[in-house]
């Protein structure tokens, strides 16, 4: 394991840096506004902004973070679009988990690993909590 970690190449792309500002309602959601940085001048490169929504859904194994891009030009637009974008991201996450469950159900079970199915644990043995 240590050998594998030693072989990792972890680098930051200096030509693709963003300044991050976080907006939150201090309840359950936040929006990150990312602004491209000009490395030479250490200033915001242009007016283009990316907005990333963050929330979580509860599963039998605990909170599952959900991150998604919000199509918006301003923070006001991002706040207005947050709910619709979050619903799409949550729906996509649930579908991915269902697909993981289907794949896991058709795989070979090795003795002693019956409870190791991550999709089952995320969705609970009784099925998804979001339908």
Give the Cα separation of 100 and 119 in Å (integer): 6
Answer for the pair 50, 64: CB distance below 8 angstroms, yes or no. no
User: Sheet harboring 43-59: ordered strands across?
Assistant: 18-24, 30-38, 43-59, 62-70
Query: Is residue 127's pLDDT more than 50?
Result: no
C-beta atoms surrounding 8 within 10 Å: 7
The answer to whether the predicted template modeling score (pTM) of the entire model surpasses 0.95 is: no
- Of all residues in the chain, what percent carry a pLDDT higher than 70? 82
- Considering the chain, what is the average pLDDT of its residues? 84
Residue 44: which H helix or E strand, with range? strand 43-59
Per-residue model confidence (pLDDT) at position 101: 87
């Amino acid at each position: 394991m240590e050998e594998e970690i030693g072989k990792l190449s972890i680098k930051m792309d200096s030509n693709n840096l963003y300044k991050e500002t976080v907006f939150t309602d201090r309840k359950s959601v936040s929006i990150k506004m990312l602004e491209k940085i000009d490395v030479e001048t250490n200033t915001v490169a242009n007016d283009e902004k990316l907005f990333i929504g963050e929330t979580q859904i509860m599963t039998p194994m605990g909170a599952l973070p959900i991150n998604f891009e919000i199509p918006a030009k301003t923070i006001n637009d991002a706040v207005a679009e947050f709910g619709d974008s979050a619903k799409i991201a949550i729906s996509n996450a649930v579908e991915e988990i269902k697909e993981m469950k289907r794949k896991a159900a058709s795989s070979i079970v090795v003795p002693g690993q019956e409870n190791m199915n991550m999709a089952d644990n995320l969705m609970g043995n009784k099925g998804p909590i979001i339908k």
